[in-house]
Structure 1
Amino acid sequence: MTRDPGDILLKRYLQGSCTRTEELQIERWLEEDPSHAVRLEQFSARNAPALPVDEERIKAEVLQRIGNETAGKTDKSPAFNTHNTKKYSRREFIVRWGAAAAVILFILSTSLGIYLIQGPGPIQEPVYVERTLPAGKTATYTLSDGSKVHLNSESTLKFPEQFGSGAREIYLDGEAFFEVTSDKDRPFEVHAGNLKTTVLGTAFNVKAFPENQQTQVAVEHGKVSVKKKDSARTSMVLTPNQWVTFDKKKKELKRESGDIRRIVAWKDGILFFHNKTVAEAANMLERWYGTNIVVENEAIKSCVLQGEHKEESLENVLEAMQFALNMDYRFTEKGVVITGGQCK
């Protein structure tokens, strides 16, 4: 019986770097006993990460030997010496063929083992793009999956250049309206303030300015799931014309329903005052027109305004407020100063 080749020679055999004589020695050894193929398989498994196995060479040689033996052919190697006229018994043939088959099985299993050990390669971290808009500016971005994001002024959007095979995650500070391309295998997740909104395909608005007391998610069509990031409780599901507001101070979620047009009107260039105080309206004007608004009269800051202005100039909006509040205003180098006025 051929003696065990040893680890060094086995390693060279698997790498395809041994001489022809050494190959023949190992092949005779493999043919003698199926357990030798198991020994080779175990050795390869222990050293899989370091062994670039020449699989095609080994499989080709083994298959050639099987073909030669089953067809009664001869080979120049000692195992198939033309001067060796011995006929194999059924048992011997099965043992020899079994050893060859074991080698093929070993090759296939080792290939899978190497893949599982080494993995499919390093996982590429997504490359994120960040877009920030100043006051007075809005923009629309198309993401790699075809989804569209309408970003409001003074807002920041962070999203990957290319979405991977998992969840489509993006991050928002400020306000944006999303038109999400449907993909049941890759949920669309928006991280904004204390909330995470998850959808498959829908259109919705997220408002999460850091300086605001509230974070809001409103659904135009489709369905979304909203939950607090630090809570294990079941998500709150929203359907069309529903919105949820998270109070940062109270740590509470409140669901409401109604016409959400006033919530999403900004993306169509409409400035919507719906039960907005003068103080709130002034903040909206600052963000919308990119200028500083000062209300000198504290008494009118709590006055409530109604109305909508589509693609109007700042001066036209101020004229409407002047009529409603009987106030005065003037433009300065720093912005606008509002004086006088009273609630009606």
Structure 2
Amino acid sequence: MWRLIQRYVTDRCSVSEERKVERWMEEDPANRKLVEELEQIWSLTPEEDFEMSVQDAWDRFRIREMRGPLSNKKKRNRTRTSSGSRRMVTMFRAAAAILLMVFVGFFSWQYLADQGTEEQTYQEQKQNIETQKGEKAQISFSDGTVVTLNAASSLRYPKQFKGSKREVYLTGEAYFEVASNADKSFVVHTSRADVEVLGTKFNVRAWKEDAAVDVGVREGKVAVSTAENGRQRDRVLLGRGQFTSVIEGEGISDVRNIDVDKHLLWLNGGMYFDNVPFKQVFLQIERKFDVHISVSATESILEVPFTSTFRDRELSKILQVLSASMKMEYRREGNEIEFYRPKNSN
């Protein structure tokens, strides 16, 4: 596994290898922390063409002397260096390569792969955009595709789409308006499902806290397939106005027709809940408004299904409806919201 982590941190993984590392990171917070620390080491220097072996890196590092403290360390968004600083960058990159080897070497997992075969490496440098709670973002790709990212979500994508597919990685919720290209399909990878299209408009909801990945289509057609252990196990086609879920431990649900515009109210600040447990309702409100909600009552109420449409963007009005629906009162102090039963209630 350590060699695979090394390839992941240095952006030299194939698509299936990336999936393996990301699933491993989701298994344990300590795994994710390790990879993030390694990524910090690797991103200490600006971008540079770096095609040297680790042995070369070690040899160069040993025979050169780095004078004076290093300052103005760049973070993840790298920029190209001038020719005058190229040697220093190469030395620092070499040091990062050595540190990376040392850190990863502490781990004894073995990378299990098919003997005698190696997938074509996926070497485009990835970019990542994340939204915080209460935020949304819009990304426009060079092919004309536009993605609207909901709150508390992230999208990972290459600087340029190369090869036979346009592939991105989503955690959270996003609405895609995919530019048509009959020769190059567009694929959205999530933890449980892959969504593949040629050109269409659709919504994907894939938060890690949720037990399902939801896909709804506004225009065109999309193919939804499960993605476990690098294999596609099940597949359905969705057309305009259709919806499905890929449920953890169950697979793909039956396709059903929906009012797509209601499911896309979030694009304009609204919210729509269709037979959703209160605990999921609270999660979505927390993401949208950057608040924390607690309930001083039995946990059974969190499983009660709730259906409502909110076109108004005001949190206070949404809380009033929830309060009446649960027959509870609420109090708010800053970003903390608590629902509770009045003392005189039965």
Which category of TM-score, normalised to the shorter sequence, fits these structures? 0.5 to 0.7
1:53-202 matches, within 5 Å, as 125-202=123-200
Q: How many residues align?
A: 220
- Checking the alignment, whether the CA contact within 8 Å between 1:156 and 1:174 is kept in structure 2 is yes
| Cα displacement (A) at 1:334 | 5.3
Are 1:297 and 2:297 counterparts? yes
| Cα displacement (A) at 1:254 | 3.1
| Cα displacement (A) at 1:175 | 0.8
- Checking the alignment, whether the CA contact within 8 Å between 2:227 and 2:233 is kept in structure 1 is no
Cα deviation per residue 1:178-227 (whole Å; 9 max; x = unaligned)?
A: 00000111111111112111111000111111121111111111011111
Are 1:337 and 2:338 counterparts? yes
1-side partners of 2:273 and 2:233: how far apart?
A: 34
SS in 1 for 2:161: coil
Structure 2 equivalent of residue 208 of structure 1: 206
Q: Structure 1 residues 160 and 232 mapped into 2: Cα distance closer, same or farther (>3 Å)?
A: closer
Which of 215, 226, 229 is the matching residue for 2:227? 229
SS in 2 for 1:254: coil
Q: Structure 1 residues 333 and 234 mapped into 2: Cα distance closer, same or farther (>3 Å)?
A: closer
1-side partners of 2:253 and 2:278: how far apart?
A: 26
Opposite residue 257 of structure 1, the aligned amino acid is N
Structure 1 equivalent of residue 314 of structure 2: 313
Q: Structure 1 residues 156 and 232 mapped into 2: Cα distance closer, same or farther (>3 Å)?
A: closer
Are 1:265 and 2:265 counterparts? yes
SS in 2 for 1:266: helix
Q: Structure 1 residues 195 and 303 mapped into 2: Cα distance closer, same or farther (>3 Å)?
A: closer
TM-score (norm 1): 0.59
SS in 2 for 1:322: helix
Opposite residue 304 of structure 1, the aligned amino acid is P
Q: Structure 1 residues 275 and 268 mapped into 2: Cα distance closer, same or farther (>3 Å)?
A: same
2-side partners of 1:234 and 1:331: how far apart?
A: 45
2-side partners of 1:173 and 1:124: how far apart?
A: 20
Identity %: 28
Are 1:325 and 2:326 counterparts? yes
| Cα displacement (A) at 1:253 | 4.0
SS in 1 for 2:202: strand
Unaligned runs of 5+ in 2: 1-120
Task: Kindly indicate whether structure 1 or structure 2 has the higher relative contact order, using CA contacts under 8 Å at least 6 residues apart.
Answer: 2
- Checking the alignment, whether the CA contact within 8 Å between 1:265 and 1:271 is kept in structure 2 is yes
| Cα displacement (A) at 1:311 | 4.3
- Checking the alignment, whether the CA contact within 8 Å between 2:203 and 2:215 is kept in structure 1 is yes
- Checking the alignment, whether the CA contact within 8 Å between 1:246 and 1:254 is kept in structure 2 is no
Structure 1 stretch displaced more, 263-272 or 231-240: 231-240
Unaligned runs of 5+ in 1: 1-122
Aligned structure 1 segments of 4 or more residues deviating by more than 6 angstroms: none
Cα deviation per residue 1:31-63 (whole Å; 9 max; x = unaligned)?
A: xxxxxxxxxxxxxxxxxxxxxxxxxxxxxxxxx
- Checking the alignment, whether the CA contact within 8 Å between 2:129 and 2:155 is kept in structure 1 is yes
| Cα displacement (A) at 1:255 | 2.1
Structure 1 equivalent of residue 279 of structure 2: 279
Structure 2 equivalent of residue 5 of structure 1: none
| Cα displacement (A) at 1:242 | 1.0
Structure whose residues are more often helix by fraction: 1
Q: Structure 1 residues 303 and 250 mapped into 2: Cα distance closer, same or farther (>3 Å)?
A: closer
2-side partners of 1:178 and 1:252: how far apart?
A: 21
SS in 1 for 2:183: coil
| Cα displacement (A) at 1:272 | 1.1
Cα deviation per residue 1:84-116 (whole Å; 9 max; x = unaligned)?
A: xxxxxxxxxxxxxxxxxxxxxxxxxxxxxxxxx
2-side partners of 1:199 and 1:325: how far apart?
A: 41
TM-score (norm 2): 0.59
Cα deviation per residue 1:287-329 (whole Å; 9 max; x = unaligned)?
A: 1111100011225323433322224221121122223333211
Opposite residue 181 of structure 1, the aligned amino acid is A
SS in 2 for 1:220: strand
SS in 1 for 2:156: strand
Structure 1 equivalent of residue 100 of structure 2: none
1-side partners of 2:172 and 2:339: how far apart?
A: 26
